[in-house]
Structure 1
Amino acid sequence: MKILPKFWQKALLAAVIGASVVAGCSTQQLEKNPAAAVTNLRYQSYPGLVSLPELAQDLGYLGKIKLDYVGTVQGGPQDLLTLVAGDVDFASAFNGVVVKVIAAGLDVVPVVASYGSDAEMNVGFYVLENSPIRSARDFIGKKVAVNAFGAHYEFIVKDYLLRHGLSEKEIREVELIVLPPISAEQALRNGQIDIAVFSGILEKRALKSGGVRPVFKDIELYGPFTAGSYSMRRDFIEQNPELAKTFVNGVARAQEWLHSTPKEQIIARMESIIDKRQRNETKVLIPFYTGTGVHAVGGVQKDQDFAPWVKALVQEQKLKPHQLNVSTLYSNEFNPYAAQKN
């Protein structure tokens, strides 16, 4: 098939994330250049936080690979867009979005789990303590801050409203406002939005400040679950298998380091990483660290990490039944923990 220019790759991905899935043929992402030896991995990340690959690099788990920071990211859909366009080499995104992208024929491969939801690290939809909002129907006509359109937060709130009897028309009356997660708490307290989404570090900080309460959390809908993965382009993996293997190995080992290391040591390490990278960031969020929410050993992926989102998209008629084989959506090929029981 003809290789798509970057502009059309971005346009297709934007259409996929913002609307229904287009079932089509597989799309090559980039011209192959086997002569180019890759030693750096380009990536985006969130300010004031430390990602798993950044931690892996600092721990020495990435060997000779150098991480090349290209800028901040607003959310998973934006990260996937830059991945598909060839502007970064790996991206973390909600698995529901990854399913949409794969269904559209964009050949990305989830290679290791990146984040999840559990009792400590989850996604909560919060209001001010004195807010009249207490149920799904109270969301109608209200402003809800999400980090990006088409990402985890939007998917969760729409599923919550649908499960509680709201019609498609009523759900459309809930206004989604895109805000950087770090700005959502202040916007809620200033009355600029009615509902904010807090997760992990940001949730712990908001609760410490007081005056807010949750309406619902994602784990109340699904229980503990792996929510997102790091993906790479298939053509990139095929051209650089050893590099991909080292990356997955390093991220998997970083997950296990987090599982086995005392919290105070984790916080000290993350503060040190932020100091060393010199991006003029604040470290105020790091003491509220709560984990990645991934309980699978080494971030090993499984069918259940993707199956609920495939089912939901089929129910919404955005995917055809049996259009996707869940077990082929992801790869644990390079994960050294894949042979262990999770």
Structure 2
Amino acid sequence: MRKWWIGLAAAAGMALSGSAHAQKILIGCTATTDCASAMVAADEGIFKKHGLDAEMLLIGINSNIPAAVLSNSIQIGGPTSTVFLQSVDGGLDLVAIAGASIMNKTSNDAIAAFVRNGVEIRDAKDFVGKKVGAPGLGAFLHVLFRKWLMEKGVDPKSVNFVEVTFPTMNDVLKSGTVDAVLTAEPFVARMTAAGTGYVGARYGAELARTEPIIFYAASRDWAEKNPDIVKKFRAAIAEAAPLVNTDRDKAGAAISKFTKQPLELVKIAPPNYSEPVLKSEQLAWWIDVMGQQKMLQSKLDLGKLILK
């Protein structure tokens, strides 16, 4: 049984209920800027405008999101592309309902393998034998880093990966629990300012991809039974996404509020680019990469991964 089948997010199970004013949904995401469109939609009243009473729930590890969705602890989650695909491959009946974030130059430049002081890492081969913390095994940053290692001629199996949540990365590095972490802004800037270590590799920038990072997903059963809610959710995300991409003040305030990160830290770097439209062919590259890493056991049907 795969790891993401266990460790459900600590969320109160909430039954979907209609009201005279809005319909209740709980949305689960990790402490990154990838779900910024949902954060802005909640903070700016856009969900309410579209008839939804939506609450955001902070989840520590991305790989816990599929199980939380299937248990109805949350109705909609923001899994990374890799976590979603591995979950579907493992038999979980999930479906993507809207896009959240995609890779672009800004987001790729923000990604880093951050190394603690006292450890010398300057090249891919230097990661061999090191303990590296990832915010979810099988999640976006982990799979992307493994792809980078493979392109550099390094076997990912030679690196010892462990799960570390974003908020605890600075502490585990300082304690020496891990040698490096796979992270992104604003955590890179925060750990640099704290004098914890340095950037060992900008592997996102080197790969320079444009595929989806995170998208919003639900159980197929819930989504098919609640088409009106899905339609309203999509409309709200479509309205919020341009604000994420153009209004640093509103995006920063919403991200800071949800992630519990200081606003001045959040505003150091722009949030990952929000793209509400998701196409099945955008997932083809991820499927190929995960196939190379032997993470998938079946042939996924691209036509069934996104709710029509």
**TM-score in terms of structure 2 length:** 0.80
Question: Secondary structure in 1 aligned to 2:87?
Answer: helix
CA distance in 1, matches of 2:53, 2:295: 39
Q: Partner of 1:53 in structure 2? A: 38
Please say which of residues 208-217 and 56-65 is displaced more in the overlay.
208-217
Q: 1:23: which partner in 2? A: none
Between the aligned partners of 1:12 and 1:215, the Cα distance in structure 2 is: 29
Q: How many residues get paired? A: 291
Aligned match of 1:64 in 44, 51, 68? 51
- Contact kept, 8 Å, 1:147 with 1:178, in 2: the verdict is yes
Asked if structure 1 preserves the Cα contact closer than 8 Å seen for 2:63 and 2:79, the reply is: yes
Tell me which of 95, 113, 119 is aligned to 2:81: 95
Q: Pick from 14, 24, 42: which aligns with 1:40?
A: 24
Distance 1:105 1:154, change over 3 A: same
- Which aligned pairs between 1:105-254 and structure 2 lie closer than 5 A? 105-122=91-108, 123-128=111-116, 131-167=119-155, 171-209=156-194, 211-254=197-240
Q: 1:136 to 1:226 in 2, by over 3 A?
A: same
**In the superposition, relative to structure 1, how do residues 198 and 316 fare at CA in structure 2: closer, same or farther (>3 Å)?**
closer
What secondary structure, in the 3-state scheme, does the structure 1 residue paired with 2:216 have?
Answer: strand
Residue 73 of structure 1: CA displacement? 0.9
Shift in Å, 1:120 = 2.4
What fraction of aligned residue pairs are identical, expressed as a percent? 18
1:260 to 246, 249, 256: 246
Q: Deviations over 1:134-156 (max 9, x none)?
A: 22221121111111222122212
Structure 1 residue 89: Cα displacement: 0.3
CA distance in 1 between partners of 2:261 and 2:81 (Å): 29
Pair 1:283 & 2:265 matched: no
Cα distance in structure 2, aligned partners of 1:326 and 1:79: 21
* Normalised TM-score (structure 1): 0.73
Shift of 1:230: 0.7
Q: Supply the distance in 1 between the matched residues of 2:30 and 2:136 (Cα, whole angstroms).
A: 13
Q: Which residue of 4, 11, 21 corresponds with 1:14?
A: 4
Q: Cα distance, 1:125 vs. partner? A: 0.9
What is the aligned partner in structure 1 of residue 11 from structure 2? none
Which letter maps to 1:312? V
Q: Deviations over 1:182-213 (max 9, x none)?
A: 22134334433211222122123334556512
CA–CA distance in 2 between the matches of 1:220 and 1:100? 25
Consecutive unaligned residues in structure 2, runs of 5 or more: 7-14
Work out whether residues 143 and 175 of structure 1, in 8 Å CA contact, stay in contact via their aligned partners in 2.
yes
Decide whether the 8 Å contact of 1:94 with 1:229 is kept in 2. yes
**Superposition deviation, residue 78 in structure 1:** 0.4
Q: Give me the whole-angstrom Cα distance separating, in 1, the residues matched to 2:250 and 2:18.
A: 36
One-letter identity of the residue aligned with 1:306: L
Q: Give the whole-Å Cα distance in 2 for the aligned partners of 1:48 and 1:217.
A: 18
Question: Match of 1:302, as an amino acid?
Answer: K
Residues 1:307 and 2:289 are matched in the alignment: no
| Secondary structure of the structure 2 residue equivalent to 1:301 | coil
Paired residues of 1:184 and 1:197 also in contact (CA < 8 A): no
Change (3 A) 1:293 1:82: same
Q: Is the 8 A contact 1:56 1:254 kept in 2?
A: yes
1:95: Cα distance to partner? Answer: 0.8
Offset at residue 253 of structure 1 (A): 1.4
Distance in 2, matches of 1:245 and 1:306, equals 22
Residue 55 of structure 1: how far off its partner (Å): 1.6
How far apart, in 2, do the equivalents of 1:194 and 1:187 lie? 9
CA contact (8 A) 1:13 1:81 kept: no
Inter-partner Cα distance in structure 2 for 1:86 and 1:269: 25
In structure 1, what is the Cα distance between the partners aligned to 2:291 and 2:130?
28
Distance in 1 separating the partners of 2:229 and 2:162: 38
Distance in 1 separating the partners of 2:251 and 2:72? 32
Change beyond 3 A, Cα 1:206–1:58: same
Q: CA, structure 1 residues 327+207, in 2 after alignment: closer, same or farther (shift >3 Å)?
A: farther
**Secondary structure at 1:237 match in 2:** helix
AA matched with 1:300:
V
Cα pair 2:40 2:250 within 8 Å, conserved: no
Q: Secondary structure at the match of 1:205?
A: helix
